Amino acid sequence: MAKRLINGGIFVQVVKASDYYYIHQETFNTSSPSTAAEPSPLPSAIFFRRSATVLPVSESMWKRKNSLSHLVRLATSTSSNFHSPLNIQPASVRLLQISGAHHGYGLITRSSSTAVGPSSGPAKLGIPGLDRVAAIGSTVVDTTTFGTREVADIARHYSRCYWELSKAKLSMLVVATSGAGYVLGSGSTVDLAGLCYTCVGTMMVAASASTLNQVFEVKNDAMMNRTKRRPLPSGRLTIPHAVTWASFVGFAGTGLLASEANLLAAGLGASNLFLYAYVYTPLKQIHPVNTWVGAVVGAIPPLMGWAAATGQISSINAWILPAALYFWQIPHFMALAYLCRDDYAAGGFKMFSLADPSGRRTALVALRNCIYLLPLGYLAYDLGITDGWFCLESTLLALAISGTAVSFLLNRTKGTARRMFHASLLYLPVFMSGLMFHRVYNDDQHSLASQDAKGNMVISHASTSHSQETINPDKAKHAKDKTVVSRPPVAYASVAPFPFLPAPIYASS
């Protein structure tokens, strides 16, 4: 294939083969235009010069027919079965401009165009050394105007990238745990607007953390089969673009939590983002303890929900769901790390399973944390969070996942590890659903607080009366003679000084 130099720029060849389009880009290190051997005829070809930045194109990329429009639109007269959605005429030849490559990926923007009238001679583009090359094939690229379909294609492209950067499915699980924490902390009345604000803020913070995680691990992800198709290692999005997205959603989510919930919830969200992106992520390449740090990260969202609903996390009731999430994550990720340990090794991650060739310690750690899940149902019942049915259901769930951990310990294969992984996927949604379904609508704490306030008012009134008697004893004695002795308030009589005693008999009269 002959090469044509464009002022030391870039040559891009687009070849249609079957139902695919291959884009091949070559960069030439020369500062002056020159001509090479006569270029051979091609089905289609486009040329680029260096300049500004808008849309991505890779050095080597293939796209299926009808999905290439977010890069360029091609119309080829040599192919009768390809119909351009733009209905571009072959006589209209456009020049594009391309910026310097970033990690091997350039960026296309719009440039000037030169219309070519019907003629049997070569097209005149006005660029030295390019006139002869312009006659190759009949490919056209139109970036002067974008139609509705082009805008929709570009929107779908970036929406897909943002969806994958945010790890949307994982982030929705985080949102579910945060929402559960909010509901548990709300008592009998749930503020739906506050719940929605909390969930949206949590989603945005989680999306920011996941994006930063992929920014820091782009080289590692490129070496792993499980992650190499993500937006950054595949070149569909640039790192600066991803950092901008992460910064925007991170600040917006934290601000939403601060303004619509409270500063405690916002502080927990910001702390969790920092812990995930700047502690857990680099620790994955340093030490196997990263799994336990990641479990802490996963346990914080329910606290965010509880804090958003109550403004505090000092109650022991607030820690039941976070404890379940912490202990649940250990067998979940131990199973995943065992199943994907070759991939993790290729990516350079220091997972616990890689330091345990036999898998015995991995299975023991998973089983131990499954056993820790057993008493959580009873604790939720004992603390008045749920009824007795949840105690039974939670225990059965914990026994089920513990059984898969025992099976994995006795027979350490990918099959038993996969069963434990699937059991962990079932455990968490069922546990949270049971917690919501069997929760006790208990506002006793609020009632007790109001009773205490009333009692304090009574005591304050009694102290004031006693002071008045001391100042003017004669007047006070005269007033006592005329005053009918009244019963003390029931709230005060039943709470102080012995709150465990039954209310007085006259309280029922």
Supply the DSSP string of 316-351, one letter for each residue: GGGGHHHHHHHHHHHHHHHHHHHHTHHHHHHHT---
pLDDT attached to residue 375? 96
% of the chain residues with pLDDT over 90: 52
Q: Token pair of 492, please?
A: 């005060």
**Highest averaged pLDDT of the listed ranges 83-92, 403-412, 447-456:** 403-412
- In the predicted structure, residue 37 carries a pLDDT above the cut 90: no
In angstroms, the Cα distances linking 267 to 74, 167, 238, 312 are: 50, 22, 30, 12
Specify the pTM. Answer: 0.63
Residues 6+ apart with CB under 8 A from 259: none
Average pLDDT over residues 115-138: 40
**CB–CB of 53/27 below 8 Å?**
no
Residues 6+ apart with CB under 8 A from 336: 421
Q: Token pair of 303, please?
A: 């606290």
| pLDDT tens digits, one per residue of 477-499 | 444 454 444 444 433 333 333 33
Least reliable range by pLDDT among 55-59, 272-276, 317-321, 336-340: 55-59
Percentages (nearest 5) of helix, strand, coil residues in the chain? 55, 10, 35
Task: Work out the pLDDT band at 474, boundaries 50, 70, 90.
Answer: low
In angstroms, the Cα distances linking 338 to 356, 400, 412 are: 9, 20, 9
- In the predicted structure, residue 415 carries a pLDDT above the cut 80: yes
CA distance 18 to 10: 26
pLDDT attached to residue 371? 97
**CB–CB of 51/99 below 8 Å?**
yes
- Work out the mean pLDDT of the chain and round it to a whole number: 71
**CB–CB of 90/127 below 8 Å?**
no
Domain spans in the chain, listed from the N-terminal domain onward:
10-145, 151-219+235-284, 315-441
CA distance 36 to 221: 40
CA distance 249 to 256: 10
- In the predicted structure, residue 108 carries a pLDDT above the cut 80: no
Per CATH, which fold does 315-441 belong to? Four Helix Bundle (Hemerythrin (Met), subunit A) (1.20.120)
| pLDDT tens digits, one per residue of 154-192 | 889 999 999 999 999 999 999 999 999 999 999 888 999
DSSP string across 381-429: HHTTSB-HHHHHHHHHHHHHHHHHHHHHHHS-SHHHHHHHHHHHHHHHH
In DSSP terms, which residues pair with 92 in a beta bridge? 115
∠ Cα 282 283 287 (to 5°): 145
Q: Token pair of 452, please?
A: 């205490």
| pLDDT tens digits, one per residue of 283-329 | 999 999 999 999 999 999 999 999 999 999 999 999 999 999 999 99
- In the predicted structure, residue 6 carries a pLDDT above the cut 50: no
